[in-house]
């Protein structure tokens, strides 16, 4: 197989991304990674440019004499890759400049060689000046789009700097041990005997953090269903939703099934209905259930569409709604480029429709756990406040998680270096019918 240079592949991927023709997840596929001699370098370039895009782009605008034409987005991406390598990867200057100049030829843009040479050498020379300029521009310095920075500052005035810092870190790889197949200590031992170092998470009982991320294809115990990849924050849903044998549980937004499986590992006799409105995402739920040896009914459905009553009523509902994903930016740094404030408004409306559609499906006396991987109050505590004001039979039940921040309603985790993603949970109970 003939490999393609990582920089060329990175330019193609980043060009598509900046033109809103895909995300890192959809563009940086296993097939694309296999085209690179070093998939790790390709991944590093793509993730790194997205993570630092607001700052790299700020530098680039200062270094270019005039903006590039829209049709030269690939050249712009090459310059961003070069700046990332120079300023964040500490690639030796001469190697970085020479390789980027060479890549212009491979992109079919030999005219850009001089420009690339001039911009990257300018960046080398002006590093201190550029850095001083960026320090005076919030969006560039914190490497977040202005709208998101403003919103985080408004929602979390005391915490926003730590949040921004957390969003700019790399996420650790964490595992959920399938308690039906092994204890956390046994799994730790299995990993250690295969030279995979791990440590126990402090919040979720069955969590392990790997010292280094690795492909699940070679992760000991993965194929056998002993472990799943899941952030510790997501694992906590199984501890926060009160469970007991045989309850009817609705997981209303279930794909790809991470939390469905966490609930069933905690209490395998639950009768779980796992719904998702995206048919193409359903097979992943079933694959996860099969790998882990768990049973649930999986259906394609949208509970906001009339007819949801066909599913009956449930003792427990997990509502893990689609959200801005602002708590998982460190895992998906392309959110900084792709997400817009208008999209968040749409998501807020969608979440409101989902929570109001789910509430009538809950049995009196039952519990509903609402969760998001968002940091924004409009998607979290404000949604719960809205439901409580509209549904007199809804009660907010306070939760406790060490290190979480208590909101008006529910709890917020912030992304923490070496720890959890940003995550929100709120527990509601429907008033039992009076005897
Ligand atoms: C945050 S993800 C769920 C992740 C999942 N709970 C897990 O832990 O693996 C949100 C899911 O909601 C689904 N969704 C969005 N709108 C929906 C709707 N109206 N009805 C059902 N599912 C919906 C999306 O397709 C997406 O799979």
In the reported structure, the alpha carbon of residue 41 is separated from the centroid of ligand 1 by a whole-number distance in angstroms of: 32
Each residue of 250-288: pLDDT tens digit? 999 999 999 999 999 999 999 999 999 999 999 999 999
Catalytic residue among 253, 261, 323, 373: 373
Task: Name the pLDDT band for 1 (thresholds 50, 70, 90).
Answer: low
Site to substitute for ligand 1 among 229, 251, 276, most atoms within 8 A of C-beta:
276
Q: Is the CB of 322 under 6 A from ligand 1?
A: yes
Name the CATH code of domain 6-143 (choices 1.10.10.10, 3.90.740.10, 1.10.940.10, 3.20.20.70). 1.10.940.10
Topology given in CATH for the domain delimited by 232-430: Rossmann fold (3.40.50)
Q: Is the CB of residue 273 below 6 angstroms from any atom belonging to ligand 1?
A: no
- What is the rounded distance in angstroms from the CA atom of residue 200 to the CA atom of residue 182? 14
- The confidence score (pLDDT) of residue 176 equals 98
The whole-number average pLDDT for the span 110-137 is: 96
Report CA(318)–ligand 1 centroid distance (Å): 11
The region that residue 418 occupies, defined by phi over 0 for left and psi between -120 and 50 for alpha, beta otherwise, is: left
Q: How far apart are the first and last CA of the chain?
A: 73
Give the percent of the chain with pLDDT over 90. Answer: 95
254 lines ligand 1 (CB under 6 A): yes
The pLDDT of residue 435 is above 60: no
pLDDT digits (tens, 9 = 90+) for 50-85: 999 999 999 999 999 999 999 999 999 999 999 999
Mean pLDDT score, 393-422: 96
Query: What pLDDT sits at residue 92?
Result: 86
CA dihedral of 86, 90, 92, 94, whole degrees rounded to 10: 10
Question: pTM of this prediction?
Answer: 0.95
Fold type of domain 173-229? Alpha-Beta Plaits (3.30.70)
Residue 308 has pLDDT above 80, yes or no: no
Q: Is the CB of 277 under 6 A from ligand 1?
A: yes
Distance 251 CA to ligand 1 centre (A): 9
Which of the two residues, 309 and 129, has the higher pLDDT score?
129
* Residues 6 or more apart whose Cβ sits within 8 Å of residue 91: 85
Active-site annotation holds for 373: yes
Distance 281 CA to ligand 1 centre (A): 9
| Residue 434 banded pLDDT, cuts 50, 70, 90 | confident
| Domain definitions of the chain by residue range | 6-143, 173-229, 232-430
């Amino acid at each position: 197989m003939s490999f393609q240079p990582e920089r060329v592949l990175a330019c193609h991927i980043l060009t598509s991304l900046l033109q809103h023709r895909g995300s890192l997840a959809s563009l940086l596929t296993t097939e694309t990674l296999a085209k690179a001699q070093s998939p790790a370098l390709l991944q590093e370039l793509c993730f790194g440019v997205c993570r630092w895009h607001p700052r790299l782009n700020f530098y680039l605008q200062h270094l270019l004499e005039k903006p590039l034409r829209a049709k030269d987005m690939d050249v712009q991406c090459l310059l961003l890759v070069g700046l990332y390598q120079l300023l964040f990867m500490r690639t030796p200057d001469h190697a970085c400049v020479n390789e980027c100049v060479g890549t212009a030829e491979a992109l079919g843009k030999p005219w850009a060689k001089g420009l690339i040479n001039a911009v990257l050498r300018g960046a080398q020379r002006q590093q201190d000046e550029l850095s001083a300029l960026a320090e005076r521009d919030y969006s560039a310095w914190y490497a977040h789009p202005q709208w998101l920075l403003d919103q985080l500052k408004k929602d979390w005035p005391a915490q926003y700097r730590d949040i921004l810092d957390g969003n700019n870190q790399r996420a650790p790889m964490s595992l959920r041990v399938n308690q039906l197949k092994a204890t956390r200590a046994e799994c730790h031992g299995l990993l250690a005997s295969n030279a995979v170092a791990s440590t126990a998470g402090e919040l979720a009982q069955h969590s392990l953090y790997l010292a280094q991320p690795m492909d699940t294809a070679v992760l000991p115990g993965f194929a056998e269903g002993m472990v799943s990849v899941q952030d510790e924050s997501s694992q906590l849903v199984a501890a926060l939703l009160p469970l007991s044998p045989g309850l009817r549980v609705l997981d209303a937004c279930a794909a790809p099934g991470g939390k469905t499986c966490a609930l069933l590992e905690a209490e395998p006799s639950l009768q779980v209905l796992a719904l998702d409105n995206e048919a193409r995402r359903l097979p992943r739920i079933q694959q996860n259930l099969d790998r882990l040896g768990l049973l649930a009914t999986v259906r394609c459905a949208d509970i906001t569409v009339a007819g949801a009553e066909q599913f009956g009523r449930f003792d427990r509902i997990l509502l893990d709604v689609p959200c801005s994903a602002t708590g998982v930016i460190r895992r998906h740094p392309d959110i900084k480029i792709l997400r817009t404030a208008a999209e968040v408004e749409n998501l807020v409306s969608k979440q409101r429709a989902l929570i109001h559609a789910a509430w009538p499906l809950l049995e009196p006396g039952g519990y509903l756990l609402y969760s998001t991987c968002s940091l924004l109050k409009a998607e979290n505590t404000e949604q719960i406040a809205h439901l409580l004001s509209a549904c007199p039979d809804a009660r907010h039940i306070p939760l406790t998680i060490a290190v979480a921040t208590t909101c008006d309603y529910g709890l917020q985790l912030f992304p923490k270096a070496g720890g959890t993603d940003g995550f929100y949970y709120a527990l509601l109970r429907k008033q039992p019918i009076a005897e």
